[in-house]
Structure 1
Amino acid sequence: MRRGRAALAITADAFARECAAMEFASDDSKDRERASREATEWFVRLQNPLATDDTRRAYRDWLMADPAHREAIRDVSELWGALDRPAAQLASTGWHRSADEPAPRPRRWFATGSRFATAAVVVVALAGGLAVWRDPGLLDRAFADVATHPGERREVSLADGTLAVLDGDTALKSHMSGPRRDVTVLRGRVWLDVARDPARPFTVHAGGVDARVLGTAFEVNREAAAVTVERGEVAVSGVDSRLGPVKLTAWQRVALQDGTLGAPVTVDPEQMFAWRRGLIILDRAPLSQVVEELDKMAPGRVLIADPELKRLTLSGAFRTDEPGAVLEALRSALGLRTVSVPGFATLIYR
């Protein structure tokens, strides 16, 4: 009995230490995220050609306040260095000039106003371009009838009673008037449980493929140009009239490959539709597919530094609200390295 109590006490102590370590790690992670967020804000502020000497001095004070700040700004700079085109645009603004360099004295008021207006246009254009770059779905969502942001999953009922479940970073337009029931997937992945109406066929347009049904449940993935059926029957055609139709039944999938519809393949429903339960199940998935999943899980772009890395594969089950777990798996299982600026971009490299 004493031995059992001793073992229990040791276990309790170990558990307490583990909890304390986890709490410390959580606090440390929050500090790093805060430093990264602040570093990103400073980095963007310094891109502004109208940044003042006071702004630069405040930045230097922030930089010296904590060693973690210097590490965070190095990460931001390293990540930005991988973004050739945006970096070149920023470099052309001259933001990197020394804070001690005197500003040219304006000759006349209207010349100052003109330069101010020009600089303001540059800043607005750069900010807009940067916003679209870090969030490619921004414009699609703006023109959609219903949409989700990265990391968001949403269930909606369309005008005809069809149930639609949208994965993260998905955008749809629908047209249900008269004899037509058309849905266009502008981006992302959607699962549809179609309301049966024999008088009005239901058609989904997604990039290079069209899917036509009367009443069924199926998934359409625009980026993969693929259709997967859960129940019922779906006729899939390529936008090119020479392709298809290919008839799919339950647990079958077809995708457009090199401009041609492949043969139907049988899929594992637990794996294929796991995202609706908040899970991503990867079975020797190429890194390119892993990146597609990461793009849906959180805001910001995911970049692969070396195209050769896309051939690597990853297996595992992950929660859709924990993109950090996927990145940790890339580091531990594949020996890769990552650097992230929360909400902006993540770079994967060796």
Structure 2
Amino acid sequence: MSNIADQGAKPAETRSAVVRQAAEWLVLLASPEASAADEAAFNAWVQADPAHRNAVVTMRGFVGKLSAVASDTSQRAVLQQALHKPASGRGWRNAVAAMLLLGAMLGSWQLLNPWSAMFADLSTETAEWKNEVLPDQSHLALASATAVDINFSAHERKLALLKGEILVDVAPDPERPFIVQTPHGTMRALGTRFVVTLTDSGTTLTMLHSKVEAKTEAQDQTRIVSAGEQVVLSAEHISTPVAIDTESVAAAWSAHQLMVQDQPMDQVLDKLWRYRRGIVMYRTADMEAMHVSALLPLDDTDRALQLLASSFPLRIRHLTPWLSWVEKVERPQSAARVSQAPAQGSSK
């Protein structure tokens, strides 16, 4: 794969070129013809420039968009051919490459947006957790693939969540409000402990203690969110609060577990991606009807996927250590329901 390996970091290297190279690397590593030398060359390419590493990490975010692309009959046939003919060599690679690059073009904004996180003040890699004590003695916990900028002044304490998920335990300081900012709005702590999760579709605020004043980016809506409530912010709207069990949420965070309640399977798979080294692919149309209530291990995403497959009509195909395919299979209706954890739900 010398045509990729020779493409080191260049001052004028464009983001689109880096994205294309990352896609080509992932295709190569997912193919049967990948060798130990290719893997070594890939590792060297990743280490050559932080932008290369970030492109590989963020690649997981847009691959999910392929499920929408693959809803088209002709494009789905190409993807199915790529998945079911792994021995066809270059033709297999070209089919997957076409789908990857098509997904990159359709989801270019979503893909490139996280690049601002490259130079964050605090960050974690995939499957890494981190706990920090901030200058004001507040405690900040970062989940997997998270990036935060810190801006403390004499007048305020501000965190900018660039990607991922944080848990904040705010130290009191009446003279300096504590604010968490995301692209969707701001959350002003009123002496509190809370979790903030940033995704493409919105910012989720989960209150564990006391209160937060949430305000949309457009600043046309404000809401006080209290302990035991969860809301989702978009740039213009704050959802109606839903009740959450604060002790369960805190315990799940401490144990590195994903707790979901009646969520569509595609959303659950998306959440697992952030904790997994590699790519998970699926068809959204196959997953939306399956609703999950589960407690899943985030430090062992292979086990999490198998727990889902044991409770739902799913098959997990680990094509390579970097690429897994989740597909719906025919199963008796009764097999799609379970009565107790670790994974439970229904398939309609």
Same fold (TM over 0.5): yes
Normalised TM-score (structure 1): 0.61
Check whether the contact 2:131–2:142 (CA below 8 A) recurs between aligned residues: yes
**For residues 342 and 329 of structure 1, what CA distance do their matches in structure 2 show?**
20
SS in 2 for 1:292: helix
| Structure 2 match to 1:316 | 294
Q: Using a 3 Å threshold, how does the CA distance of structure 1 residues 149 and 83 change in structure 2: closer, same or farther?
A: same
- Preserved contact between residue 298 and residue 323 of structure 1 (Cα < 8 Å): yes
Retained in 2: the 8 A contact 1:76–1:341? Answer: no
Q: How does 1:84-163 map to 2 (within 5 A)?
A: 84-86=98-100, 139-163=115-139
Q: What's the offset of the Cα at 1:191? A: 0.4
- Please give the alpha-carbon distance, in whole angstroms, between the structure 2 residues aligned to 1:271 and 1:40: 46
Q: Which structure's CA Rg is the greater one?
A: 1
- Other-structure match for 1:252: 229
Cα–Cα, structure 1 residues 43 and 288, in superposed 2: closer, same or farther, change >3 Å?
Answer: farther
Map 1:1-350 to 2 at 5 A: 39=32, 41-42=34-35, 45=38, 81=95, 84-86=98-100, 139-223=115-199, 224-244=202-222, 246-256=223-233, 259-273=236-250, 274-341=252-319, 344-350=322-328
Cα gap change, 1:215 to 1:312, in 2 (>3 Å): same
Task: Report if the CA contact (8 A) 1:298-1:343 is conserved.
Answer: no
1:299 CA drift (Å): 1.5
Closer, same or farther: CA 180–213 of 1 in aligned 2, 3 Å: same
Amino acid at match of 1:238: T
Amino acid in structure 1 at the alignment position of 2:210: G
CA shift in 2, pair 1:86/1:215, >3 Å: same
State the number of aligned residues: 251
Deviation at 1:166, TM superposition (A): 0.8
Q: CA deviation at 1:190?
A: 0.3
- Alignment partners' CA distance in 1, 2:113 and 2:235: 24
TM-score by length of 2: 0.62
Structure 1: stretches of 5+ with no match in the other structure: 1-35, 49-70, 90-125
C-alpha distance in structure 1 between counterparts of 2:31 and 2:262, whole Å:
37
Amino acid in structure 2 at the alignment position of 1:267: I
Q: Deviations over 1:227-276 (max 9, x none)?
A: 111112100011011121x1012111111269421122221124433133
Residue identity opposite 1:287 in structure 2: M
Retained in 1: the 8 A contact 2:31–2:93? no
More helix by share: 1
CA drift of 1:302 comes to 2.4
CA contact (8 A) 1:152 1:167 kept: yes
Given that 1:212 and 1:235 are in contact with CA atoms closer than 8 Å, whether structure 2 keeps it comes out as yes
In structure 1, what residue type is equivalent to 2:100?
Answer: P
Q: Aligned partners of 2:91, 2:272: CA distance in 1, in Å? A: 22
RMSD of the TM alignment (CA)? 3.8
Judging changes above 3 Å, is the alpha-carbon distance between structure 1 residues 258 and 138 closer, same or farther for their aligned structure 2 residues? closer
- Identity among equivalent positions (%) equals 22
Q: Secondary structure at the match of 1:248?
A: strand
In the alignment, residue 86 of structure 1 is paired with which amino acid?
A: L
Whole-Å separation in 1 of the counterparts to 2:321 and 2:136? 36
One-letter amino acid matched to 2:175: A
Q: Is the 8 A contact 1:75 1:339 kept in 2?
A: no
How far apart are residue 282 of structure 1 and its match?
2.9
